[in-house]
């Protein structure tokens, strides 16, 4: 790439703003709903990030809708609501949109035949959401393979998923997300669903239908539920290639936080072409900057 092309590229990518008292107030007044990622934004593993409950409470007191949009497929919406409650935050199932739910809804809206079964490389969250949508995750014939985060992945699961996709005519290959890593604990990043998805891609030589962020499939269900224009929403996340890109693809404002995967140096890396509208250390900065 020559200097002219570099200059043109730089001119087309907006420069993100560090969150300040002025633009935080402007952001608050310009949106009706905040969409939050969970891992690295609300919590790390099972530990809340400082200031989260107070920040959410402040936003609710100002009449803002709160929605939690997570790529982690290990839990269903019911299980996530229980986790929030355990951590001392009241969140209803209707406010949670997980990639496990998105996988089930993708099959439902595309009229996946009820007599066909779904093979899952993943955990209880996917199975529960499939069951709620009326699909069976065991047995055969298999018409779809759903791959998500699976802490118990093994060679047999990969082989059976590969067999179904390669040998069953028309078998769908669905990925909940392609996150490379995630926070299973508050101290370390662990391999994410993207590792499982990559293995199946490698063995089948096929690319999946991705239903989690940055795909806007979850946004379609969210819009039906909340009837809020995406231009009046702000997506808050810790990942550029999923959370921020999801918000941009849907036409939302975007706020990147450094409490999870992305660092300021990676945001400012010259090779990075995904730029949020705003960035800050953690979501409780909103509370502090607004003096609420």
Is residue 240 a contact partner of residue 272, using CB atoms and an 8 Å limit? yes
Ramachandran angles phi, psi of 273, nearest 5°? -115, 15
Q: How many degrees, rounded to 5, is the angle at CA 186 between CA 182 and CA 188?
A: 55
Within 10 angstroms of residue 197's Cβ, the number of other Cβ atoms is 25
Annotated binding site for substrate: 213
Strand 233-237 with 253-257, pairing: parallel
Q: Which two tokens stand for residue 100?
A: 């496990």
**Rounded CA separation 90/103 (Å):** 25
Which DSSP state fits 207?
P
Cis peptide before 118 (omega within 30 of 0): no
Catalytic residues: 37, 39
């Amino acid at each position: 790439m020559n200097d002219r092309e570099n200059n043109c590229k730089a001119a087309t990518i907006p420069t993100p703003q560090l969150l300040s008292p002025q633009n935080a107030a402007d952001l608050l007044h310009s949106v009706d709903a905040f969409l939050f990622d969970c891992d690295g934004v609300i919590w790390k593993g099972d530990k809340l990030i400082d200031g989260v409950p107070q920040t959410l409470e402040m936003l609710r007191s100002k009449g803002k809708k709160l929605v939690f949009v997570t790529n982690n497929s290990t839990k269903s919406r019911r299980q996530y609501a229980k986790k929030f409650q355990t951590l001392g935050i009241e969140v209803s199932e209707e406010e949670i949109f997980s990639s496990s739910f998105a996988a089930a809804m993708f099959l439902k809206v595309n009229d996946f035949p009820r007599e066909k079964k779904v093979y899952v490389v993943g955990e209880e969250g996917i199975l529960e959401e499939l069951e709620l949508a009326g699909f069976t995750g065991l047995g055969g014939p298999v018409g779809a393979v759903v791959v998500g985060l699976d802490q118990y992945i093994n060679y047999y699961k990969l082989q059976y998923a590969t067999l179904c996709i390669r040998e069953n005519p028309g078998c769908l290959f669905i990925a909940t997300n392609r996150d490379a890593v995630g926070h299973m604990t508050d101290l370390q990043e662990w391999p994410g669903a993207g590792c499982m998805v990559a293995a199946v891609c490698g063995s089948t030589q096929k690319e999946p239908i991705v239903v989690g962020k940055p795909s806007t499939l979850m946004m379609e269900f969210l819009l039906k539920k909340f009837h809020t224009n995406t231009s009046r929403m702000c997506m808050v996340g810790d990942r550029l290639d999923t959370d921020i890109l999801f918000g941009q693809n849907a036409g939302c404002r975007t706020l990147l936080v450094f409490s999870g995967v992305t660092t300021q140096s990676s945001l400012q890396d010259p090779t990075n072409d995904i730029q949020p509208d705003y960035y800050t250390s953690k979501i409780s900065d909103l509370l502090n900057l607004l003096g609420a």
